[in-house]
Amino acid sequence: MQFRSFHNSDPPRLHQLWHACQLGRNAAEGFSCDIFELFACSQPYFDREGLILAFDGERAVGYVHASFAVNDTQTDLDRRQGILSALMVHPDYRRRGIGRELVARAEQYLLKAGAVSVEAGGGLNRNGFYCGIYGGLEPSGFCSSAAAWKEFFSACGYGPGSETYILRRDLLQSRDPVIAKLLRHRRNLNLVITDRPGNESWWWFVRYGQLDSLRFELRTREKEDLVASGQIIGMDIFIPKWGVRSVGIREIYVPESQRRHGFAQALVLEICKRLREESVQLVEAHVAADNKAAVDLFTTARFELHGRLLTFRKSLQRADA
C-alpha cells in the first residue's frame, strides 16, 4: 500500500472513490466530477498536503482530508484546531489498517502545521470542505449510520466530540400546527425576503457562496423593527440521491429583547409555507444535540429527528514535547 498527497490529476479518482465507498444517506451522489472539485478542492485554503490518498498499485483505495476550523471572528482558519473533513476507504479494502494509517498521516500533517488538537468530522459550522455534498445542509460531522465510527476512532485514540441532530420535515406529509399567537403575529408582522446575503462572514462565503440562498426577516408592520431572521440554502445537489427538492434552514435568530414571543416559530412556519408553495418537499435543519431551545423550536414546527452527525476529538502532542 502506498500513500501520497494530492496531485492535480486526482479529482476523477476521488470522485470515483466517493461513489464507491457507500457513504450513507447523507452523502450526495450522482453529481459530476466538476461539482466534486468545486466543493472539495477549490476553497482558497485548500492545501494539497492535507489531502492524502492510499493506493494499491495504480488504484486509489481511500483518502483522508485534513484541514482546520475557523477562528472566532470567522475571518480566517485557526491552525491550532485541526479537523478531519473527510475519510473513506473502499469497501474491498476495509479492516486492513488503511483507515488508521490515513488518520495517522493526517495527524502528522496537522501537527506540522501547528495544530494542538483534532476533531474528526469537523462539527457544526466548522468544516470548511464538502458543504453542499456531504451531511445534507452542512457537513457537521460523520453520519452515525454510515460506519462504525465510534469503534474506529476509539481504536485511533479519539474520544467522543459533538453530536448534531439532523431535523427534517416533509412538507407534503405534515400540516402546519395551529398556534393562536402565531395567527396574531401574522396580522402584525411583515415577511421580507431578499436574495442579497446579509452581513455574512468570509467563512459563510467560502462555504455557501456557490449555493442558492435567501434571507428571511420578520419585521413589525408599524415600525419595521426586526423580530426574527434566518436563511435558507438550496440542497439541489442531493436531488439525484433523495429524489426530491430539499432546502436547509439555518441561522434562525431573534434579538434578545424579542425572545419568548414565538417569533422564531412564526418565521420557521412562514418559511415552510413559502417553500411548500415553491414545490420544495424536504426542509432540514442542523442543531447541536444539547441546544434544547433550538430542538424544541423545530420539533414544535413538526420537524423530526432524521439522523445524527458525530465528531471525535483527540489532543495532538509533538514527539519532542
Ligand X SMILES: CC(C)(COP(=O)(O)OP(=O)(O)OC[C@H]1O[C@@H](n2cnc3c(N)ncnc32)[C@H](O)[C@@H]1OP(=O)(O)O)[C@@H](O)C(=O)NCCC(=O)NCCS
Q: What residues line the site for ligand X (CB under 6 A)?
A: 21, 23-24, 27, 86-89, 94-100, 134, 142, 146-148, 151-152, 155
Question: Which CB sits closer to ligand X, 94 or 306?
Answer: 94
Angle among Cα 79, 85, 90 to the nearest 5 degrees reads: 140
- For residues 40 and 66, is the Cβ–Cβ distance under 8 A? no
Question: Which CB sits closer to ligand X, 122 or 230?
Answer: 122
Burial 214-228 (b: 16+ CB within 10 A, else e): bbbbbbeeeeeeebb
Question: Which CB sits closer to ligand X, 151 or 256?
Answer: 151
> What are the Cα distances from residue 86, in Å, to 59, 80, 91, 144, 188?
19, 19, 16, 14, 46
H-helix or E-strand spanning residue 173: none
- Minimum distance from residue 122 beta carbon to ligand X (Å): 10
Question: Which CB sits closer to ligand X, 140 or 213?
Answer: 140
- Minimum distance from residue 261 beta carbon to ligand X (Å): 40
Question: Which CB sits closer to ligand X, 21 or 297?
Answer: 21
Pairing verdict, β 117-120 and 77-89: parallel
For residue 190, the cross-strand partners are 219
- Cβ of 134: how many Cβ atoms within 10 Å? 28
- Minimum distance from residue 34 beta carbon to ligand X (Å): 19
- Minimum distance from residue 22 beta carbon to ligand X (Å): 6
* Residues in CB range of 105: below 8 A, 6 or more apart: 3, 52, 64
Question: Which CB sits closer to ligand X, 79 or 96?
Answer: 96
Of the candidates 114, 121, 173, 187, the one whose C-alpha atom is nearest the C-alpha of residue 152 is 121
- Minimum distance from residue 209 beta carbon to ligand X (Å): 21
- Minimum distance from residue 141 beta carbon to ligand X (Å): 10
DSSP SS3 for 70: strand
